[in-house]
């Protein structure tokens, strides 16, 4: 009987330590709220952007649109990046994409909802950046699409499924900022009538904004009235 109780106690202790591990902050190993992966202090210390241009999300010194957006506005009307692309975001993104860990998408959605855009008018639809068949086969999922569907459920905004399509495979991440701006991301129209709609493009990381710009161009060519963009993180551009 004693042996039986000691086994039960061991199982109970193991379960308790397992549950404690589940709710330990991933960054500082301190305790965090049930169901969370970060404690409040580490969440507050994440690399949130300071003052940024409301159109391209680049850092600015004074409020309002940056000089570049005033001179050469992109095709998207506004953008919002919940974080800047620094540690630990870079580590998480690498784990998700190179480690093919789709579970990270739920975390990214959670972090985006912690720092959402301030809409004056809610978008009619969310639109994911499409990926190529080759990328889908190698990674197993389109992160932009997974985040888009999770945000759709949380915010109760429907997903526009065929607003955009990928025309060809392109490795934008292999090129410099200047090169990215010159090269096409290979995004084409989906062939829908989007007349008068307010659409929000969802993507993981905004680097130069050229992919989002191309996507916005195609959505507006199909009649979209307002096109915004919301990304998890923004890289601070190499000038």
| Torsion, Cα of 34, 37, 40, 42 (10° steps) | 160
Distance CA 21, CA 16 (A): 9
Of all residues in the chain, the percent with pLDDT exceeding 70 is 83
Coil/strand/helix, residue 84: strand
The answer on pLDDT for 13 being more than 90 is no
Query: Across the chain, what does the average pLDDT equal?
Result: 87
Report CA 39 to chain centroid distance, whole Å: 21
Distance CA 38, CA 26 (A): 6
Distance CA 86, CA 33 (A): 24
Distance CA 82, CA 234 (A): 8
> What pLDDT is attached to residue 172?
47
The answer on pLDDT for 75 being more than 70 is yes
What tokens appear for 22 in the block? 């589940």
The answer on pLDDT for 167 being more than 90 is no
Do the Cβ atoms of 170 and 232 come closer than 8 Å? no
**Across 77-106, average pLDDT:** 94
What tokens appear for 61 in the block? 């010194």
The answer on pLDDT for 175 being more than 50 is no
Partner residues linked to 213 by β-bridges: none
pLDDT confidence bin for 239, thresholds 50/70/90: very low
pLDDT confidence bin for 153, thresholds 50/70/90: very high
**Across 170-196, average pLDDT:** 70
Q: Show the domains of the chain with their CATH numbers.
A: 1-45 (no CATH), 48-234 (3.40.50)
Length of the chain: 239
Q: DSSP secondary-structure letter at 16?
A: H
- The pLDDT tens digits of the residues spanning 219-228 come to 999 999 999 9
Do the Cβ atoms of 229 and 76 come closer than 8 Å? yes
What tokens appear for 171 in the block? 């490795």
Of all residues in the chain, the percent with pLDDT exceeding 90 is 67
What tokens appear for 132 in the block? 């190529």
Give the global pTM.
0.83
**Across 168-192, average pLDDT:** 65
């Amino acid at each position: 009987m004693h042996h039986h109780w000691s086994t039960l106690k061991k199982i109970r202790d193991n379960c308790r330590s397992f549950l404690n591990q589940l709710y330990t902050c991933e960054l500082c190993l301190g305790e965090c709220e049930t169901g969370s992966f970060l404690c409040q202090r580490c969440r507050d210390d994440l690399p949130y952007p300071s003052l940024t241009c409301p159109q391209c999300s680049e850092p600015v010194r004074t409020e309002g649109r940056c000089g570049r957006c005033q001179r050469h506005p992109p095709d998207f009307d506004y953008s919002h990046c919940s974080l800047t692309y620094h540690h630990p975001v870079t580590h998480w993104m690498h784990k998700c994409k190179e480690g093919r860990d789709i579970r990270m998408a739920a975390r990214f959605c959670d972090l985006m909802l912690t720092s959402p855009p301030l809409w004056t008018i809610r978008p009619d639809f969310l639109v994911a950046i499409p990926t190529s068949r080759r990328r889908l086969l190698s990674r197993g999922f389109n992160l932009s699409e997974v985040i888009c569907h999770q945000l759709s459920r949380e915010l109760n905004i429907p997903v526009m499924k065929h607003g955009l399509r990928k025309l060809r495979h392109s490795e934008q991440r292999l090129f410099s900022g200047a090169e990215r701006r010159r090269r096409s991301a290979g995004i084409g129209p989906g062939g829908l009538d989007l007349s008068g709609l307010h659409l929000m493009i969802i993507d993981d990381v905004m680097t130069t904004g050229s992919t989002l710009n191309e996507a916005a161009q195609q959505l507006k060519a199909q009649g979209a009235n307002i096109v915004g963009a919301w990304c998890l993180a923004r890289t601070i551009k190499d000038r």
